[in-house]
Structure 1
Amino acid sequence: MIQHLLQVYWPEWNGERVKGPTGWNNTTHFIHNEQRRSVMRIYNTHRDKARIEFEFAVLDSLQQVPLSFKIPAPLPSASGDKMVRVQDGSDRYACLFAYIEGVRPEEGSTQAAYSFGEKTGELVNALAVCSIGMEPVYPPYFELLQSYPACSEAFILDFCKQPPMEFKDQIEALHILKEAYADICSRLESLKNLPQQLVHGDLNLSNLLVDAEHPHTVTALLDFEFCTRDVRAMEPAVVISGFLGIADERKAIQQFCEGFASRVRLNAEEIAAIPVLMRLRMVDVFLHFLSRYREGTDESQVLREQVDMLAAGFKRMESSQKWLDDMLFQYLM
């Protein structure tokens, strides 16, 4: 299938294929030939051309802004299109991107935390001035109640109170998620008043590259699929939530905040909202995987793992609240 796509749409890029990392939402393949390298991406979880068009419009706009790091650059096919249908009956889309030098940081690594903060702040500034001319396809995080039509409030609360048999032993963890969901729902309206702009929305260690020889330096930010208009403070909130629970979490968060503040200064209201936005991100992840389970995309084991991980995350947030608040105000003001 991959060879056929290359031969028909990107013949000059055809070459040896190596399967890359596969995430929840897409599959990647590295293409190598004597002249050049590229990365093919296949979108697995949607068939919506408009989502990819908006992502590419953001990337095109960012290409006009001087950046100290690389971002994905889509390669037009022989017909001039940047996305093509996969001819396997699935109606999925495939795209080809120029290869970016760098390596993924080791899981749980804190080496690049300061650089990650710098690049995140730089991206926030760049996205603030991007001119897209299109309406975002993905809703902002604060529109949580409209984002998952497969999971109504009644269904979510009932699932957590009276879960199916395969989740009965997770009743305590589901209670934590139910309480977090109810709390976040009561705060959504207030979040809408925070400063808004385009945000990447999914920055984490799996969506960046670092210099192979200098792993403390971020060289690229990847995967702009979920870019949308949201509150500005959501960008650092997503990153910081990913640092909780790793070794040296305090050091990583401090260094990230220092790097971010060297590029962007948030106001006091935004900083105070970051812990709430972190919990919103975690509730959103729960509803994402609950929807996938209900729609039959994932087996129950996938949701079970997410339930345990997220419940543990909420416990860490509760125990970390005091030092996290102090650190955010100390380094982000």
Structure 2
Amino acid sequence: MTGLRVLVAPDSFKGTMSAQVVADALAAGLAGAGADAVTCPLADGGEGTTAVLHAAWGGELVRHTVSGPSGEPVVGELLLAGDGRAALDTASASGLHLVPAERRDPLRASTFGTGQLIAAAVAAGAREVLVGVGGSATTDGGAGALEALARAGGIGDAVLRVLCDVWTPFEQAAEVFGPQKGATADQVAALTARLHEVAGRLPRDPRGRPRTGAAGGLSGALWAVYGADLVSGADAVLDAVRFDELLARTDLVVTGEGCLDAQTGQGKLVAVVAARSARRRVPVVAVVGRRALDDAGVARLGLRAVIEAGDLGALESAGAALARDLAG
């Protein structure tokens, strides 16, 4: 095992552990068994994206009190890189984790606070604002964010880049993601009808376009009104941390996420890490909190193996077991 170079590059386990915590636990297990483990916490536009970009870019993290998804004040976070770039997580202002399960109201949840954070970035002088759109509680078609930005006078000459972790189009946002945000079947139907109404009022129609359904249509609204560039969040983050350069010095990649499922292949981090690693012929193992993907799905992603580990002790044990397996 001595000298085996392992790049530990997971996403966060949503709602439970940050990418850094996951990476450190896996690396501790690998190193204890003799592997040379290097950590590279990652994100794909969801929770933790701003933290990863802060580590890559430097800059200042600024906190602003904004309106949460249910209208209550929350403290959102904004990264000002100092070179004209800013970044923020929609989850910081409009995240599902901000609303207790018993108080979730999918019909009411608003992206207004995310619009306030974008406006704060522009007011601070940002010329390019990166908006990570995973982990939201919302399916308002971006209406709340658009209202907040309109009140602030728009974005001026700033450019928006929306870091998307899904391919879902605008009109399918409620159907695909509404249930995990607490929506009943009747609410999904009502939310879908509202998305169509919102789309009909926008200056450009986002329906049918990939990635416009992220954060319950927020990405599509920002594209329609402000010409936002909708990009792969995973690719943007991997470029920021110079992932491909790290691969050149790596024998094995260990990545991971909270749940490996059918959505993983639709632009989530694990799928993008696997694809980039395959181009360099570096094998990839995924350590996940829960596996909900069959062997055929795992094979399509190009993963060498999948290990389930849902807490810190299990993650460290998974790292050690993986190192022993490789040594054998």
Q: Is the helix fraction higher in 1 or 2?
A: 1
Q: Do they superpose with TM above 0.5?
A: no
TM-score normalised according to structure 1 size: 0.31
TM-score normalised according to structure 2 size: 0.31
Q: Is the strand fraction higher in 1 or 2?
A: 2
